[in-house]
Structure 1
Amino acid sequence: MLFNARSISSHSLTLEHSTPSSRARVLLQLTASISSLKVVWRKDHKLDQAIDNDKQWRLCARVVKEVLNEPGQVIPLRYLEKRRERMRLPIRITTFLARNPGLFDTYRDRIKPKTEPVPFIRPSSRLQQFLDDEKRINLENEPLIIAKACKLLMMSKDNVVSADKLVHVKREFGFPNDFLVNLVPKYPEYFRLVGCPGDGKSFLELVSWNPEFEKSVIQNRAEEEEKITGIMVRPSFNVKLPAGFVLRKEMREWVRDWMELPYISPYKDASQLDQASPEMEKRTVGVLHELLSLSLHKRIPVPILGKFCEEYRFSNAFSSAFTRHSGIFYMSLKGGIKTAMLREAYRNDELIDRDSLLEIKDKFVALLAEGHQQRAEQLRLQKQVIEKDMERMAKRDHELNNQEYDEEL
């Protein structure tokens, strides 16, 4: 089932051209329905698989990050082993290293001058090459990173966001680790950093409003379609329910009427909107859609979004919008964590709307694949050696048996 500006039936009520009385009736109906209408959550195996597909490289990335954060980017093997629980690593570090060759080099050194040498690990030459590629990709995409940061501030209340919260979501949006320290100071025309990140009281403020950044993905899509068709297109959400998903009649009617409400840009000031109004629901869905669109994988864990309730004027029950608007979003429960996903960005379990910063992930996955091929080759050679040893042993046993038989004769 697909709803958009053109697929709603012609007899549906269009608020822009309706009478004041009919407009009030629909708004009253929508307001009453926001809290009362429910949509049963339904598992989407293909979108869950999209999260599963990234499980291995994310696990490896956590271990790499742990080592890179150490002084000198080296760490004793036994110290890293003690951090397995924190890294959510289900296997021993030695097993991890064996399964992922090419990430680290192992060497022996002393922890203290008079102690015995113990195994240490450090980034391999191949991992160092990846880190150099990561810097290059971030530099090439610096305008995109700056635009994303400006957009996050432009959507927020008073155009201010906690610096510590931005650090917490840097992985979701593809911000480099040194974003606040090295990148923000390069653009004083856009940003002002107040306080010191890490103290819990620092903030990133927007200095100037850039009109180029104030159009949402939905607005840009409508403009592009208008250029192609020559027909004015009203900005609207693409709503595509998964196969076999059926809404109850009252919910279908609610969605139809809600879709007819004018689109409210997430960059528009929402301070005058009532939190319980249908317009605020429209604006909230617009902000959530834009945040997911700006993210690398078009998905963000719900607890992370929840940290920004104050900045983006979300209600405490904002997460219910993901199930209420199941044709726009999907809320995965994979891994015991609620993750909001943007349906339109995926085809089955494949991300079709790819962020250019995902080249970093592609490079890392290629590095892991190279190590896995190396391990497979090592196992193949080991298997050949074992098979040859077994052949020699069998041949020797055969010769001994023949020799014993000859002696008996």
Structure 2
Amino acid sequence: MLSTPYALFSYLRSFKSAQSSFVRRKFFLQIRAVSSLKVIWRKDSRLDEAIENDKRYKLCARVVREVLNEPGQVIPLRYLEKRRQRLRLNVSIKTFMSFNPGLLNTYCDRIKPKSEPVLFLRPSDRLRGFLEEEKRITMENEALLVSKLCKLLMISKDKLLSVDKLVHVKREFGFPNDFLVNLVPKYPEYFQIIGSPGDEKSFLQLVSRNPNFAKSVIERRAEDESISTGIQIRPNFNYNLPPGFFLRKEMREWVRDWLELDYISPYEDVSHLAQASPEMEKRTVGIFHELLSLSLFKRIPVPILGKFSDEYRFSNAFSSVFTRHSGIFYLSLKGGIETAMLREAYKGSQLIDCDPLLEIKDKFVELLEEGWRERAEQRRQQAKQVRNDMEFMAARADA
């Protein structure tokens, strides 16, 4: 209650000061072009380790896919040998198989009726067992796959995406190889293919918008916190700089004011926003946050994200967002490929909240580890036999 003229004067002065401060900060945001804000990239060895840990698994998965994609799921060994460079395999196929037993079997057959028999590769019984497990896990998570596909379409400006581009990113989000043939036709209320899937200009279009899918991870998190605390929580990004990382004062002030801007959902229409505005920057960060959240490993190679620049209204210099907002993202250079990672999804090098579809990866790793254990045991037995033979020969020499 403002009972005195002096109290009223003080209140009006403080209000005017706060209002002036807000205007100055908003003006500061507007006059500083987003592209002029530079943050020096710094290495985060823990997040790089997360990529390194999956290196062997991904290499094995690439080789297996190469065989499974062949007609009849068989391929002459020498043909696969010629594809080593494309598979980024720096050892021979035979050496790869000896390092990773239990994946592929060899057998002899003729390429042509009158040609000499050659070695062929085909999936092992263990690998076929894994493929059945993969089908089961995929079927159990069909609703999740449908929601992911709907969300990717809902974020796009025209609510449609190129079929070729979707096929290219299917593994990043966990879509099965046959999702266009077996998943999409089951949900005509959501999806429609324009053109033939084999055509260059074929697209997947969203037929209807499900409001249940139109909430981002950040919005759902704010709702959950509001319910648990009884306090209305404002949706916003978690901003945590890694240890030893500091921003210049100018950048700290910009980030502070930028975080105070209203969160803009990636599912909102933003055609009215200027491309270079701080509000558009906030929406772009929201899109990247959502895309990485939808991905299996909460990380996506930057070149893959770049394929959707037109559909998601990314600027040409969109990758600078990941270094400019180092408290939200990390840009890994591991393996010579820029990979955008979501910081909040990791504790050290380990994923915190794993996508249910990652059970497929876990089953595949179990298959690999079983073969590695068998190889290690075989090598131990061979070493033991060599020692026994040497001891026997030494005993005979002494006699």
Smaller-chain TM-score bracket? over 0.9
The 2-side partners of 1:54 and 1:264 are apart by 34
Q: How far did residue 113 of structure 1 move? A: 1.7
Match of 2:171 in 1: 171
Structure 1 portions without partners, runs of 5+: 1-17, 400-409
Deviation per residue, 1:67-95 (Å, 9 max, x gap): 00111111111111111011110111010
Aligned residue pairs, count = 381
| RMSD, aligned α-carbons | 1.1
The 8 Å contact of residues 195 and 203 in structure 1, kept in 2 or not, is answered as: yes
Amino acid at match of 2:25: V
Amino acid at match of 1:325: H
The 1-side partners of 2:66 and 2:288 are apart by 31
Q: How far did residue 23 of structure 1 move? A: 5.2
Equivalent residue of 1:392, what SS?
A: helix
Match of 2:28 in 1: 29
Q: How far did residue 197 of structure 1 move? A: 2.3
Deviation per residue, 1:32-73 (Å, 9 max, x gap): 321222110000000000000000000000000000011111
Equivalent residue of 2:158, what SS?
A: helix
Deviation per residue, 1:298-343 (Å, 9 max, x gap): 0000010001011101111111110000000000000010000000
The 1-side partners of 2:106 and 2:26 are apart by 66
Structure 2 portions without partners, runs of 5+: 1-17
Q: Is 1:314 aligned to 2:292, yes or no?
A: no
Equivalent residue of 1:176, what SS?
A: coil
Structure 1 runs of 4+ aligned residues shifted over 4 Å read: 21-24
The 8 Å contact of residues 345 and 351 in structure 1, kept in 2 or not, is answered as: yes
- Of stretches 315-324 and 193-202 in structure 1, the one that deviates more from structure 2 is 193-202
Q: How far did residue 353 of structure 1 move? A: 1.7
The 2-side partners of 1:28 and 1:164 are apart by 43
- Of stretches 22-31 and 188-197 in structure 1, the one that deviates more from structure 2 is 22-31
Equivalent residue of 1:157, what SS?
A: coil
Match of 1:82 in 2: 82
Match of 2:119 in 1: 119
Q: How far did residue 395 of structure 1 move? A: 1.6
The 2-side partners of 1:105 and 1:381 are apart by 22
Q: How far did residue 115 of structure 1 move? A: 2.1
Match of 1:325 in 2: 325
Equivalent positions of 1:1-12 (< 5 A) are none
Match of 2:210 in 1: 210
Q: Is 1:158 aligned to 2:158, yes or no?
A: yes
The 1-side partners of 2:147 and 2:380 are apart by 49
Match of 1:184 in 2: 184
The 2-side partners of 1:331 and 1:154 are apart by 26
Amino acid at match of 2:322: F
The 8 Å contact of residues 27 and 278 in structure 1, kept in 2 or not, is answered as: no
The 8 Å contact of residues 301 and 338 in structure 1, kept in 2 or not, is answered as: yes
Match of 2:135 in 1: 135
Match of 2:3 in 1: none
The 8 Å contact of residues 31 and 276 in structure 1, kept in 2 or not, is answered as: no
Q: How far did residue 193 of structure 1 move? A: 0.6
The 8 Å contact of residues 130 and 363 in structure 1, kept in 2 or not, is answered as: yes
Q: Is 1:395 aligned to 2:398, yes or no?
A: no
TM-score of the pair, normalised by structure 2: 0.94
TM-score of the pair, normalised by structure 1: 0.91
Equivalent positions of 1:9-408 (< 5 A) are 19=19, 24-33=23-32, 34-399=34-399
The 8 Å contact of residues 127 and 367 in structure 1, kept in 2 or not, is answered as: yes
The 1-side partners of 2:36 and 2:99 are apart by 51
Q: How far did residue 392 of structure 1 move? A: 1.6
Higher relative contact order (CA 8 A, sep 6+): 1
Structure 1 vs Structure 2: percent identity of aligned residues? Answer: 70
The 2-side partners of 1:242 and 1:113 are apart by 63
Amino acid at match of 1:29: F
